[in-house]
Amino acid sequence: MGIHGQATSQLAFGDNGNCVGYLLGEERQGMKIMFKMMNLARMGTALMGQANASAAYMHAITYTKNRVQGADVTQMLNPDAQGVTIVNHPDVKRMLLWMKSHLEGQRALIYFMYNQFDIIRGSASDDDKKEANALVEILTPICKAGCTDKGVEITSTAMQCYGGYGYCRDYPIVRYMSDAKILAIWEGTNGIQAMDLMMRKILMNKEQKNYVALRKRMDATVAKAKGIVDDKYLGLFNDALKELDELIEFFKGLMATGKFLNIFAHATPFLDAMYQVCIAWMHVWMLTIAQPKMQAIVGDAKGADRDKILTDNDEAAFYAGKVLSSQFYLGTELPKFGGRVKAITFNEAAAIKATPSVFTGALAE
């Protein structure tokens, strides 16, 4: 596939004579320094995954707003119906909202993660600094793996919006698709991120400082959302938090009984589940802010009156989009979290039982 949108280089030393190395820093501290650099690179890769997928999404918006194909579904039995741009079709709107909801959640989560560095550097409170550092530690693998894995899916969905054109090199999505995949591999493949999250950030941390800090912020968001965000959405999120706590206890039980193979086999599904809850958290937070702002502009307008306000007022359209994006994620994506939890706690051991001999090149006859 190649890396077509990234500037990379290769350095070679010693081809034309002696190659001399100089020690930087103290002896036996190199690994520690390297991982500090690596963690910062992982954060940057998360941002790149989000940005690359965002570019694909924006191209999909432009295309779907201009491509005329088919009649409105409400007029599909009318032989004289005029064609409409495909952005009006329900399945296309679903794809666009799916991309939008993930990307906006990712952006908020990445900004929140980076903001913790401002607290670490600028706060006068040691407790605040410790909590901020704990949040950075647990969010780094979630953002790196979650945003880049999902970035591949988002870019694929953007290509789907184009139909056959999206797969042609004359259109930009092919390049974004190629660049999306490398980000899930860079700076430690995403399986490594999952093991880091599972072991270092949670199970090997007796005081659970990272998870406690994260849950504290999530609970604070829920408290602020009460009375603003519809109870049906808050209920879904609260249920997910309860299931997440139970899932952590499940893994602690595996740790206590020495079932490390089971832990590692379920590490990536666990990170995927954590990503879902963290993105949902951002949407509860954003909905708490956006809902009143939209209400102040749009009020109780409905139907054609509401459509006119959103068409004529960019602020109204922006906040309406934010509200719908958050409601879409909480209502259609977050419920899938329960299925992930069930799949993990079922504790299927096939991946543990499989030996190299079962992976053959021959297909079953």
Quick one: pLDDT at residue 200? 93
Q: Exposure pattern of 121-135 as b/e (b: 16+ CB <10 Å)?
A: eeeeeeeebebbbbb
| The listed CATH number (1.10.645.10, 1.20.140.10, 3.90.1640.30, 3.40.50.300) that belongs to domain 32-188 | 1.20.140.10
Quick one: pLDDT at residue 362? 67
Is residue 171 exposed (0-12), middle (13-18) or buried (19+ Cβ within 10 Å)? middle
Alpha helices in 227-362 (DSSP H): 231-256, 260-265, 267-298, 303-312, 314-328, 336-345, 350-353
Quick one: pLDDT at residue 24? 82
DSSP string for residues in 137-173: HHHHHHHHHHHHHHHHHHHHHHHHHHGGGGGSTTSTH
Task: Please give the Cα distance from 143 to 104 (Å, whole number).
Answer: 13
CB neighbourhood size of 40 (10 A): 14
Size (the chain), residues: 365
User: Angle, to 10 degrees, between the axis of helix 314-328 and the axis of helix 90-122?
Assistant: 90
Task: Please give the Cα distance from 97 to 29 (Å, whole number).
Answer: 47
Task: Please give the Cα distance from 329 to 276 (Å, whole number).
Answer: 9
According to DSSP, residue 266 is labeled T
Task: Please give the Cα distance from 76 to 81 (Å, whole number).
Answer: 7
Quick one: pLDDT at residue 207? 87
Q: Could you tell me if 188 and 42 are in contact, meaning their C-beta atoms sit under 8 angstroms apart?
A: yes
Please give the biggest Cα pair distance in the chain: 80
- Lookup: tokens for 146: 């979650």
Q: What is the pTM of this model?
A: 0.93
Q: Could you tell me if 325 and 318 are in contact, meaning their C-beta atoms sit under 8 angstroms apart?
A: no
Quick one: pLDDT at residue 107? 98
**pLDDT means over runs of 10, the chain (365 residues):** 73 84 87 84 95 98 96 92 96 98 98 96 95 97 98 97 92 90 92 96 92 98 97 98 98 97 97 98 98 96 96 97 98 97 97 92 64
Task: Please give the Cα distance from 64 to 47 (Å, whole number).
Answer: 26
Quick one: pLDDT at residue 225? 98
Question: Tokens 């647990």, residue?
Answer: 138
Task: Please give the Cα distance from 255 to 241 (Å, whole number).
Answer: 21
Strand segments (E) across the chain: 68-71, 83-85
From the centroid of its chain, how far is CA 132? Answer: 20
